[in-house]
Amino acid sequence: MFFHRMNGAARSHGPVDTTLYDILKVKPTATEEEIKKSYRHLAKEYHPDKNPAHGERFKEISFAYEVLSNPDRRVVYDSRGLDGVKEGGANTEDILSSLFGGSPLSSFFASTGGGRRRKMRGQDMAHHLKISLEDLYNGKKSKLQLSKRVICNSCHGRGGKEGVSYDCPDCHGIGTKNVIRKLGSGLIQQMQMECSDCNGTGSKIPEKDRCKNCRGERTVSEKKMLEVTIQKGMRDGQKICFRGEGDQEPGIEPGDVIIVLQSKPHDVFQRQRDNLFMEKKVSLNEALCGCQFLVKHLDGRELLITTRPGDILEPDCIRGIRGEGMPVPDNSGMRGILFVKFSIVFPEDHFFAEEADYKNILGSFAIKVYVTSDIFI
């Protein structure tokens, strides 16, 4: 958009700079009608939908027309060149630099950024894939079917008959329109906006001419089967990218399909990075005298875990087994640690009510302990 004051200043003879005239391929003496005609021809030729490789060229053409189609700004340009356009006020400089940041003309402006740009690449498509902890441990190949838009084979993305131009009559096939608003105090605002008649596509196909297969949409829906390779040790939230498998549109590079892994909860193990955690309940007897128990691992093996007599397990203590955690990605053979958290199941009150209870608990020790009845109250 541009801001400028309306005045009746006459254009001087002999412009100091002809860059913008050269971009539009017109002479400095060209009339407004000649400028408009050349602009429409060039804009259609270099429109991103038809010529995606020349997006910067299209912006230069649009910029040249914005300046030269306005009598007041053309006077400023003819007399002072691009520097004069740049110095049209703080708002003008910010707006111009925003609109043409990154183009060959951007050296005339202080900053780069977000003026309106035609879409040159389609959006990425994200899909979540739920997967078990076993599959993340062992690795797996999984198939995923998705629906996407592809170029219509019947009309090859034209949407209508071959050799017929369907340029939108409202924007003349450009996809944008220049809108002028009066702001008061002699100021007007000129903006480039997406054409609402063709939704920025630059074309509008009559119903009678529309392709019967895609109904003028240029694309059709298609099922696509992707083979997703889950490497050993991949993590929850990790992304797998399929380049260029997103929705297709005529003249636009397709986006990517991004698979986001979602790990399902496991009944025994919890994962933290490359390590596994589990909980084990043991009796007071086992906590004091040692214990053995089997754990079925994620690859089907059964681990025999043993605590030594005398290695007393305190409530909520943790023991670790190296090399029994998750595989470390991109590090062949390396695995994290399996941590076991022990919780002690204490006996109920008055569990030593009879002499036999003493013998049951003490019988677990390696040495014999003799108990006489005179210790009971």
Q: Which domains, and CATH codes, for the chain?
A: 2-108 (1.10.287.110), 120-161+212-261 (2.60.260.20), 270-362 (2.60.260.20)
Q: Considering Cα of 77, then 81, then 87, then 93, what sign does the dihedral take?
A: positive
Return mean pLDDT, the chain: 78
pLDDT (0 to 100) of residue 285:
82
Phi/psi for 239 (5° steps) reads -110, 140
pLDDT means per 10 residues in the chain (377 residues)?
38 71 90 90 78 74 86 82 61 43 43 44 90 95 91 88 75 76 64 78 81 90 94 94 91 90 95 94 86 92 88 89 91 89 81 57 44 31
Neighbours of 246 (CB within 10 A): 20
DSSP code of residue 302: E
pLDDT (0 to 100) of residue 273:
92
pLDDT (0 to 100) of residue 262:
94
* Structure confidence by residue, pLDDT tens digits, 222-239: 999 999 999 999 999 999
pLDDT (0 to 100) of residue 136:
96
The pTM of this model reads 0.56
pLDDT (0 to 100) of residue 356:
60
pLDDT (0 to 100) of residue 353:
56
Give the whole-angstrom CA distance, residue 19 versus residue 63.
Answer: 11
pLDDT (0 to 100) of residue 366:
43
* Structure confidence by residue, pLDDT tens digits, 280-325: 999 888 888 888 899 999 999 999 998 888 788 889 999 999 999 9
Helix or strand (DSSP H, E) at 308: none
DSSP code of residue 18: -
Report percent pLDDT > 90 for the chain. Answer: 33
